[in-house]
Amino acid sequence: MTLVLKQAPKFKAAAVINGEEIVENFSLDQYLGKKHVVFFFYPKDFTFVCPTEILAFQEKLKEFEKRNCVVVGCSTDTEETHLAWLNTPKDKGGINSVTYPLVADTSKTIAKNYGILAGYDDYDEDGNHTFVGAPIALRATFLIDKNGMINQETVNNFPLGRNIDETLRLLDALQYVEKHGEVCPANWSEGKEAMKATKEGVAEYLGKH
C-alpha cells in the first residue's frame, strides 16, 4: 500500500552524520517545518549497486541543498558498519566522502513501517517464527514535504539502480506546485511550462503542445 498523502512514519535510530560521527536517536522530525526531505533506502553496505547510488546522491547534494532539501539514506546495517564503509576509499568499494546522514535500521522496523522490507514474517507448521524473503530494504525513495507528508515514492528491486536526476526533477515539480498552485504535466522539468488544474488550463496547454 502506498504511503503517498500520508505522514512519513516517525522513527528514532542511530545514524552516522558528516561521514564520521555516530549519533543516537536520529529523527526526521528535526526537519519539520524547515526543509524538504529525500529519504531513501538501500539494501546493504559493502555491496555493488548501492555505492553507485549513494555516491551519486553525494555528487548532487549541493543541488538538493540549493532547493532547501536534505538527503538521508537508510539500510538495515549497523551504524558501525555504516561508519566502516564511510571510511573505506572509493577505489576499494567504499563511500568515503559521503556527508549526508546514513540511518541504521538494525531492528528493521523503519523499513517495515515504510512498507519496503523485502520479505515478511511467517510461522511454520510447528508455530515457529520464520522470515520469508530477504530481511533487508528494497531500493526505495520517499519525497517528503516540510509538513512531513510523503508526496512521492519509488520502489525498485535489488538489481535496478535509481535515477538521481529524476529525484531532483520530482523535487522541482513538488516545489513548483507548492509555490505556484499549478500542476506539472508529463515530462515537466524546471523552466518548462506548467498548467492550471482546470479544463480550460488543460485545453490551453494541449493546444500549445
CB burial of 94-105 (b: ≥16 within 10 Å; e: otherwise) equals: bbeebebbbbbb
Gap between the terminal Cα atoms of the chain: 35
pLDDT at position 202: 73
Q: What is the pTM of this model?
A: 0.94
Mean pLDDT by 10 residues, the chain (209 residues): 96 98 98 98 96 98 98 98 97 96 97 95 90 95 98 97 97 96 92 88 78
Which ranges of 41-125 would DSSP assign to H, the alpha helix? 49-59, 61-66, 79-86, 109-113
CA distances 34 to 63, 69, 71, 176, Å, are: 17, 9, 14, 17
Which residue ranges make up each domain of the chain?
13-161, 163-209
Question: Considering just the CA atoms, what is the radius of gyration of the chain in Å?
Answer: 19
Which three cell numbers, joined as nine digits, stand for 63? 543541488
pLDDT at position 115: 97
Residues 150, 168: Cα–Cα separation, whole Å: 15
Residues 64, 13: Cα–Cα separation, whole Å: 23
As to burial, measured by CB atoms within 10 angstroms (0-12 exposed, 13-18 middle, 19+ buried), residue 54 is buried
pLDDT at position 204: 82
Which three cell numbers, joined as nine digits, stand for 182? 499549478
Which fold is adopted by the domain 13-161? Glutaredoxin (3.40.30)
| Number of C-beta neighbours around residue 12 at 10 A | 13
pLDDT at position 162: 97
pLDDT at position 102: 98
State the catalytic residues.
Answer: 50
